[in-house]
Amino acid sequence: MKKRHIAIADLKISKKAKNYVLSVLNNNRLSYGKFTGKFEKEFAKTHNRDFAMVCNSGTSGLQVALHALKEVYGWEDNDEVLVPAVTFIASSNVIIHNNLKPVFVDVEKDYYCVDPKKIEEKITSRTRAIMPVHLFGQSSEMKLILKIAKKHNLKIIEDSCETMFVKYMGKPVGSLGDISVYSTYVAHIMVTGVGGIVTTNDELLATTIKSLMFHGRDNIYLKIEDDDTKNKVRLNSLIERRFQFNHVGYSYRLTEMETALGLAELEKKDQIIKRRIYVGKKLTEALSKYDRFLQLPKVRKNSEHIYMLYPIVLIDDRIEKEDLLLFLEENEVETRLFMPLLSQPIYKKIFGEIEDNYPIAKKLTERGFIIGSHPYLSDQDIKYVQNLFYTFFKNKKLIK
């Protein structure tokens, strides 16, 4: 069997994207410009939001989202934010960065997102928000989470970094919470290399977030175009206030080149969605022959799955995960671990040995792993992956 390289993610920059970037360079404008403005407007519209603000990463977006909520609503240090026990470490790191306390909640065994049935037992008098993380391209069970948040007067920050363009009960993922954050990192659904987008319908939160991204600068001056005015009253105000800072902010801005790439990607979103769903379904079809050994991704009722990544959980104890991953890697199929969080050395140092308190999360991270399911996988690539699993199980004498 001839080896094929199956990457976790891949990228092909379109002719339109290259032309957009050349337009940026030809206009000699790398900071906030027409592409950034249009990208923010179109992204907000796509996700049923009034405001969208780009920044340099999804992590930065989560950081300023929490900072804005803390500042606007008067949260105190060590107030608590609920976060899933399975997620990329950035989700919980930003809670710590804001001098808040992450409180972990176990996850669903079938869909891998935060388990709504286990949220209320974690709520205390210090709980201020829930951060559902929509993992691998599928929504959390937001209907129940929204109900709990309303009952306990909690804010919701949706970590949608792995799940843009997806519908949940007919609505875009990330359109239901107070603030939502997306990522355009190179391995994600819509790629600009680096980048993030924060969305909300709350104007005060939006202006606070925008300011925080720009060093905490006065909201009257948040992009170069704010200088382009002939109104003497406004110009006088700009002179006074454009180097006035109202918050302890950050430098989290994105360049016009990334948003030019993003706009080209956004304009072909239907193609991206269709292809990702096709690849994910074909992988499930190919590997379902081995479902007595593997738990494959399940699609939540009334929800879409866009398969940003393809998670697999081993359900046969005779299979050693390390053996299978080594076999796949030796045959050029890239793998990743299943979002280990509570077992990370730094978290053991901070929180202690708490992983046993989250049995579903522990089992998933011990027995789960991830392979790629990006739009550039061909039917031949998927057949190759299927044949590798067959060969592995046959060599282990698990099948004939």
The answer to whether residues 294 and 376 belong to one domain is yes
Q: Are 125 and 170 within one domain?
A: yes
Residue 224 has pLDDT above 70, yes or no: no
**Which tens digit of pLDDT belongs to each residue from 155-214?**
999 999 999 999 999 999 999 999 999 999 988 999 999 999 999 999 999 999 999 999
In a domain, 5, yes or no: no
129-159 pLDDT, tens digit each = 999 999 999 999 999 999 999 999 999 999 9
Across-strand partners of 309? none
Check pLDDT > 80 for residue 239.
no
Q: Which of 248, 266, 284 is the last residue of a domain?
A: 266
Q: Are residues 152 and 217 in the same domain?
A: yes
Strands (E), the chain: 51-55, 80-84, 101-105, 127-130, 155-159, 167-168, 171-172, 179-183, 196-200, 294-295, 310-314, 336-337, 368-371
- Are 246 and 381 in the same domain? no
Domain that holds residue 313: 269-395
Residue 9 lies in a domain: no
Residues 107 and 174 occupy one common structural domain? yes
We report the CATH number of the domain holding residue 119 as: 3.40.640.10
- Specify the range with the lowest mean pLDDT, choosing from 78-82, 89-93, 225-229: 225-229
Number of domains into which the chain is organized? 2
329 & 310 share domain:
yes
Q: Quick one: which of 10, 4, 1, 3 has its CA closest to 372? A: 10
- Pick the last residue of a domain from 266, 295, 315: 266
pTM of the model as a whole: 0.93
- Is the pLDDT confidence value at 228 over 80? no
Q: Please give the C-alpha separations between residue 345 and each of 16, 321, 348, in angstroms, as whole numbers.
A: 44, 21, 5
Helices and strands in the chain, H and E counts: 13, 13
Is 385 contained in some domain? yes
Question: Does 1 map to a domain?
Answer: no
